[in-house]
Amino acid sequence: MIKLSFLTLCMGAFSTLMGLGAHAQDNWPERAVKFIVSSSAGGGTDMYARMLAQSLSDSFKQQFIVDNRPGASGNIGASAVAKSPADGYTFLVSANTSLTINGSLYKNLNYDAEKDFTPIVRALGPLVIVVHPSSKIKTLQDLIDVGKREPNKLSFGSAGTGSTTYLGVRMLEEKTGAKFLHVPYKGVAPAYQDLLAGQIQFMMPDVASGLQLIKAGKIIPIVTEYKTPLIPNLPSISDAGYPDVNTNTSFSLVAPSGTPSPIIEKLHKELMLISKTAAFASKIEAQGLIAETESLSGLSNSMKKERENYANFIKRNAIVPSD
């Protein structure tokens, strides 16, 4: 009788705990949620994170806070989230650098993007090559010609060796034989400062982060990764004769692996609904982004394939981190 009573007590306690867990998931979020962003403020990743945070704050009537953790090509922010409790209150918003590239670039990462994160949603965004208004470089062909004629004369800034802002230029070098001097930064915002000051000659950032500077005439776009109505009449890299230069730049929201499935599904469902609203659609389009509407499993498979493609590119070009 004693053993039976003890077993009954344990089963009752277990049922109570399970019930409390289910209740907490049903009522998520019950407190502020943190979005750790793996880049500095002002970049495309940061802008995307803030759009998501504001929309979700409005939807759930709870605070969604953006916390920027730049550095090490996104590894600092990604590592912080990978080590965070999988309780639905800490997420990562990152460019595909941390999620599909760095695993092939860095040998001693303290996180595994495929194992440590669960993708929830992402947006795609084209890169754009920009120069200072005083530059004599007016077209992509001008840039390539100088890069072939005078290797490493032209310097370019990036958000780090593993970032698409770097790899996009390396893809261009692979296809054309041109060579440029790389200057890495902790995010695109400080790189813009040096471009504006004439310390570097060009950049290949995402349209989202450069749009306001382009509109103000402070930087001049010469080519974009693919056509965008935000910069009408600007040719794409494909138009210029190099269709294989494509970084698949994206910004993703992911959760630490082990985050309860009901929370993942609830967040994904809400973001799919938000993406269909006119207000959010206009914000996304204004930044040159395209909100993806893949299922959770579809998104996971797409990122896995992208991870494999980057692994081949990095190996083929013997790319190693320098920052």
pLDDT of amino acid 5: 61
CA–CA gap between residue 291 and residue 106 (Å, rounded): 29
Q: Is the model's pLDDT at 2 over the cut of 50?
A: no
- Calculate mean pLDDT across residues 109-125: 95
Query: Which string of b and e fits 64-75 if b means at least 16 CB within 10 Å?
Result: bebebbbbbbbb
Which CATH number applies to 128-224?
A: 3.40.190.10
End-to-end, the C-alpha distance of the chain in Å comes to 67
Cα angle: 81, vertex 84, 86; to 5 degrees: 105
Which CATH number applies to 31-125+249-316?
A: 3.40.190.150
Q: Using one digit for the tens of pLDDT, what is the confidence trace for 50-83?
A: 999 999 999 999 999 999 998 887 899 999 999 9
Q: Using one digit for the tens of pLDDT, what is the confidence trace for 275-287?
A: 999 999 888 888 8
- Calculate mean pLDDT across residues 235-248: 90
Cα angle: 75, vertex 122, 244; to 5 degrees: 85
- Calculate mean pLDDT across residues 172-195: 93
Q: Using one digit for the tens of pLDDT, what is the confidence trace for 17-36?
A: 455 455 567 899 999 999 99
- Minimal CA–CA distance to 91: which of 170, 33, 154? 33
Do the domains 31-125+249-316 and 128-224 sit in the same CATH topology, yes or no? Answer: yes
Q: Is the model's pLDDT at 87 over the cut of 90?
A: yes
Residue 127 is given by DSSP the state B
CA–CA gap between residue 3 and residue 252 (Å, rounded): 51
The phi, psi pair for 174, rounded to 5°, reads: -60, -40
Q: Which residues fall within 8 angstroms of residue 280, CB to CB, at 6 or more apart? A: 51, 55, 274, 291
pLDDT of amino acid 168: 94
CA–CA gap between residue 221 and residue 230 (Å, rounded): 12
Domain ranges (residues) in the chain: 31-125+249-316, 128-224
Average pLDDT over the chain reads 90
pLDDT of amino acid 10: 53
